[in-house]
Chain A
Amino acid sequence: MTVGGGWGHPLAIGLVGALTMFGIGFRHASPRARVASAAPADELLVPHTRGPITVDGEADEPDWTRAPARTGAFVGADGRAARPVSEARVLWDDANLYLSLYAADEDIRAAKVAADGPVWAGDAFTVEVVSPDGTMHSIAVGPSGIISDAAWAPGRAVDHRWQSGAKAAIDLDGTLDDPRDRDEEWVVELAIPFPALGVAPGAEVRLPIALRRCDVHEGGRRCGTWTGHLRLATGSPR
């Protein structure tokens, strides 16, 4: 069964809670009005790619270093820089929204789950995006590359059968699920098709987004987040 909770569903907590914390209204306005009231400081201007992006985990195309949108380091619940370090870079082309999600990690652990399973039980990133029509999308991915995604409209049940069509590739610097040594990092290169987000390619759009990374370690779990808006720069060089 699913629990229809609209904005109150647990999947919405991170985004709604964090955006509210940042003074971005969400519950009492239409999606477009909410976007219009957002503070520019929380907005990332995302450039269009100049060349093709191959989702292979390497994120070594020139676009990734030329001038991607950068979130900077995620922050923890205490408002300080989250540890271990997590950050993201964002690009787009006419088909996809691309994210390069970086996770420093001494002990990389993946949940042993199938697609759409509880990826969060291991180290994981969760990307939460609100479409222009207010539909919520959640895409979680861990260091094994398994994706768990869901979508729901305000007041409607969460649809775990929803498939984003996102592609993820992982670059792992360390050994997965081996606590005997010390790892360095894992990186997700993620491509989310615009149709899945209800966004027309090339449209002038600002997307509320929340990124969360949780790290499972011997002492428990610790998380960091970044929240704000992505504005797709339609006028940027192609």
Chain B
Amino acid sequence: MRAHSFAFVFALVCSAGLAAAAWTGCGTEGPAAVAEAGAPEAGVAACPPCVTDDDCRGGVCAQVGGDSYCAPTCPAGNECTDDRACSPVTTVNGAQASVCLPRADVCSAPPAQDASVPIDVCGTLVGPNKAASCSSCGANPCQTNGCYGGWWCNTATNRCQAPPATCDDVDAGPPFDGGGPVTGTIGPNGGTLSRLLFGIVGDTRPANPNDTGAYPVAIIDAIYTRLQGLAARPPFVVSSGDYNFASTGNGEAAAQIGLYMNARAKYAGAFFPAMGNHECTGATASNCGPGSANGITNNYTAFLGQMLGPIGKTLPYYQIDVAAQDASWTSKFVFVAPNAWSDTQAAWLETALSAATTYTFVIRHEPADTTQAPGVAPSEAIMARHPYTLAIVGHTHSYYHFSGREVLVGNGGAPLTGSKNYGFAVVSQRPDRALTIDMIDYASGLTDSKFHFAVKPDGSPTL
């Protein structure tokens, strides 16, 4: 539909004759061969795609809207036609320039990415070594995909563009196999198990404050129902924070956390929540607790009472210990509250991490790079002085494992910020004591092969 509409527009645009026809491609030789047949014509007409300035016939190749397009320059600021505005851009060479950009959004966006694609493909982008339909090499050495210089081929537009820095696509794997059943008992302070196995759920809240009617009940219900139904059911779940989105002065936080706990009740195992910024004021920089900048909010009170109360915790930071039934390994789970940070918590964390265990898991809402949260940088400094296996975080509504020991699980029902789906993670101990970490789609129950990874007890990667 979009291509059809663009085709219609293209005819009108070209028949009207644009002032800058020399580089729009209307009845001219057009920009270099980066624009191929099948591209959305109006997009090409108004925004000729490019790889270098050489493609632009007097204009510059500008980075605009996540892509690169030819645009005429406007060094004096008054050269643009009425339908364009002289705007500062960065060129593909990294230089700053002023160019005439269309005021309207006439530069086409690629279609949504396919969720199941091979490893050398990222959505519609095909890497240099895979055959694709681009033909933009000119006199340059040509790659298999028809581009040159390391560029990727966008098969939606048959033109070359910068390689993706990240590819959010999911590679659907097999259903989760957690091994055999786990025996043992987990209470409010931990317990003993035949094998370490636990779930991770993160970030469950509506998009807008106080919008309890839009709480993602169906999603969090499905997550805990699926956890309960796993053949190898984790004996406990840790969560990475943010269970509500409410103003601090009303009762909506309590209502929303109530909805969460109703969903959590669909799962028979133990539940250990970390505190998120929304359990303070909602602001990432907020700090709650007695004597803190934001004090005791309704959100904070609801979290302590409704989520930590059932496990007998009175502070937003705490520790549980889980050990092998045969005493062959030990583990500690250290729940940090960076939005209730204090010198007291810092001292507690230092002491907690000083105790030697086979595995150490730090559960904290904000990732290491979210330093606006008061306790992130200080807790990272303390963690750096001690061994640990994984830092389990949330805050971003997706899931990631970059290099290092931080794993982000924030896809528990809050509006997704990336292209991945809702779900939960499971950490499973292998006979060699390494841990595997999988993400399970809440709807399909399938794992994400691209996310799957394994670590040794010291957090170093292993196969």
Contact check, B214 vs A70: say whether CB atoms are below 8 A apart: yes
Contact check, B9 vs A10: say whether CB atoms are below 8 A apart: yes
Contact size range, A = 35 or more
Please judge, given known A-B contacts A1-B83, A5-B9, whether A87 and B207 are in contact too, CB under 8 Å: yes
Tell whether B107 is near chain A: CB-to-CB under 8 Å: yes
Tell whether B50 is near chain A: CB-to-CB under 8 Å: no
Contact size range, B = 35 or more
Contact check, B18 vs A3: say whether CB atoms are below 8 A apart: yes
Contact check, A17 vs B2: say whether CB atoms are below 8 A apart: yes
Please judge, given known A-B contacts A1-B82, A138-B104, whether A18 and B1 are in contact too, CB under 8 Å: yes
Contact check, A219 vs B123: say whether CB atoms are below 8 A apart: yes
Tell whether A85 is near chain B: CB-to-CB under 8 Å: yes
Count of A-B residue pairs with CB < 8 Å? 221
Tell whether A226 is near chain B: CB-to-CB under 8 Å: no
Closest residue to B40 on the A side, CB-wise? A13
Tell whether B125 is near chain A: CB-to-CB under 8 Å: yes
Complex interface: stretch among A35-43, A44-52, A99-107, A228-236 = A99-107
Bound state CA distance, A7 and B315, in angstroms? Answer: 61
Partner of A80, one of B19, B112, B165, B211: B112
Closest approach, in angstroms, between the C-beta of A11 and any C-beta of chain B? 5
Closest approach, in angstroms, between the C-beta of B359 and any C-beta of chain A? 26
Contact check, A222 vs B112: say whether CB atoms are below 8 A apart: yes
Contacts of B161 on A, CB cut-off 8 Å?
220
Contact check, B415 vs A223: say whether CB atoms are below 8 A apart: no
Scoring A21, A180, A181, A184 by chain B CB atoms within 10 A of each residue's CB, the highest score goes to A184
Contact check, A78 vs B42: say whether CB atoms are below 8 A apart: no
Tell whether A89 is near chain B: CB-to-CB under 8 Å: yes
Contact check, A60 vs B247: say whether CB atoms are below 8 A apart: yes
Tell whether A25 is near chain B: CB-to-CB under 8 Å: no
Q: Which of B366-401 contact A (CB under 8 A)?
A: 367, 369-371, 395-398
Closest approach, in angstroms, between the C-beta of B23 and any C-beta of chain A? 15
Tell whether B5 is near chain A: CB-to-CB under 8 Å: yes
Bound state CA distance, A76 and B8, in angstroms? Answer: 22
Contacts of A220 on B, CB cut-off 8 Å?
66-67, 109-110, 125, 154, 161, 164
Q: Mark B1-34, 1 if CB is under 8 A from A, else 0.
A: 1101110110111001011000000000000000
Closest approach, in angstroms, between the C-beta of B285 and any C-beta of chain A? 11
Contact check, A181 vs B369: say whether CB atoms are below 8 A apart: yes
Partner of B415, one of A138, A160, A183, A185: A185
Partner of B5, one of A13, A76, A78, A140: A13
Contact check, B18 vs A219: say whether CB atoms are below 8 A apart: no
Closest approach, in angstroms, between the C-beta of B105 and any C-beta of chain A? 4
Partner of B101, one of A70, A117, A180: A117
Q: Mark B106-141, 1 if CB is under 8 A from A, else 0.
A: 110111111100000011010000000000000000
Tell whether B158 is near chain A: CB-to-CB under 8 Å: no
Contacts of A65 on B, CB cut-off 8 Å?
208, 210-213
Partner of A214, one of B84, B105, B369, B370: B105
Tell whether B209 is near chain A: CB-to-CB under 8 Å: yes
Tell whether A8 is near chain B: CB-to-CB under 8 Å: yes
Contact check, B109 vs A219: say whether CB atoms are below 8 A apart: no
Please judge, given known A-B contacts A60-B209, A64-B208, A82-B112, whether A181 and B65 are in contact too, CB under 8 Å: no
Bound state CA distance, A118 and B83, in angstroms? Answer: 10
Please judge, given known A-B contacts A160-B82, A219-B125, whether A3 and B395 are in contact too, CB under 8 Å: no
Please judge, given known A-B contacts A21-B1, A160-B83, A219-B164, whether A3 and B103 are in contact too, CB under 8 Å: no
Tell whether B167 is near chain A: CB-to-CB under 8 Å: yes
Contact check, A117 vs B13: say whether CB atoms are below 8 A apart: no
Please judge, given known A-B contacts A120-B104, A122-B65, whether A84 and B369 are in contact too, CB under 8 Å: no
Q: Which of B325-368 contact A (CB under 8 A)?
A: 367
Tell whether A144 is near chain B: CB-to-CB under 8 Å: no
Contact check, A10 vs B88: say whether CB atoms are below 8 A apart: no
Please judge, given known A-B contacts A64-B211, A117-B85, A187-B208, whether A77 and B112 are in contact too, CB under 8 Å: yes
Tell whether A30 is near chain B: CB-to-CB under 8 Å: no
Contact check, A77 vs B4: say whether CB atoms are below 8 A apart: no
Bound state CA distance, A121 and B69, in angstroms? Answer: 11
Bound state CA distance, A43 and B419, in angstroms? Answer: 28
Tell whether B417 is near chain A: CB-to-CB under 8 Å: yes
Closest approach, in angstroms, between the C-beta of A185 and any C-beta of chain B? 7
Bound state CA distance, A160 and B415, in angstroms? Answer: 34
Contact check, B417 vs A185: say whether CB atoms are below 8 A apart: yes
Tell whether A4 is near chain B: CB-to-CB under 8 Å: yes
Q: Mark B171-206, 1 if CB is under 8 A from A, else 0.
A: 000000000000000000000000000000000000
Tell whether B297 is near chain A: CB-to-CB under 8 Å: no
Bound state CA distance, A223 and B40, in angstroms? Answer: 15
Contact check, B415 vs A150: say whether CB atoms are below 8 A apart: no
Contact check, A5 vs B123: say whether CB atoms are below 8 A apart: no
Tell whether A112 is near chain B: CB-to-CB under 8 Å: yes
Closest residue to B122 on the A side, CB-wise? A219
Contact check, B8 vs A8: say whether CB atoms are below 8 A apart: yes
Tell whether A59 is near chain B: CB-to-CB under 8 Å: yes
22 contacts between A and B (CB under 8 A): A2-B81, A8-B8, A10-B102, A11-B105, A17-B2, A76-B112, A78-B111, A85-B416, A102-B208, A104-B414, A104-B417, A106-B396, A111-B65, A112-B88, A113-B85, A138-B104, A148-B103, A150-B104, A187-B207, A216-B65, A220-B125, A220-B164
The 7 lowest CB-CB distance pairs between A and B, nearest first, are: A76-B112, A120-B105, A219-B164, A10-B106, A218-B165, A85-B415, A221-B66
Q: A84-B419, A106-B398, A140-B105 are in contact. List 8 more A-B contacts (CB 8 A).
A: A10-B42, A60-B209, A78-B112, A84-B418, A148-B104, A185-B207, A214-B109, A218-B165
